Amino acid sequence: MCTGRSGSLLRTSLWSKAETGMTDRLVCACNMVSEKEIVQALKKGATETPDIQRITQAGTSCGRCLMTIDRMVEDYERMHPRDPQGKLGF
Ligand code: FES
């Protein structure tokens, strides 16, 4: 689901809510995957959109949500930089 929202301030606000469990917005309508589930996958070590797809199934049907997932991954990586060796080994 592309919200059309842009701007880091708005996204930062959204992340704060997602990380504290204050929001559970649906990101992938095809597979009923919420923002909270994607954040959980990121916290478990997912570092790329394909990781999110494998863990949650989000973005594995029509693909309309892929841009939103990409943005979430980028935002998370920017806000939570990690050791390159910390990538999940699927
Ligand atoms: S909305 Fe996510 S795959 Fe269709």
Per-residue pLDDT of 46-59, as tens digits, reads 999 999 999 999 99
CATH number at 8-81? 1.10.10.1100
* C-beta 33 within 6 A of ligand 1: no
* C-beta 63 within 6 A of ligand 1: yes
pLDDT of residue 87: 56
Domain ranges of the chain: 8-81
Which of 64, 68, 71 has most ligand 1 atoms within 8 Å of CB, for mutation? 64
Measured in angstroms, how far is the CA atom of residue 58 from the centroid of ligand 1?
A: 6
Scanning the chain, the segments in alpha helix (DSSP H) are 8-19, 35-43, 49-56, 66-79
Per-residue pLDDT of 66-79, as tens digits, reads 999 999 999 999 99
Q: What is the pTM of this model?
A: 0.71
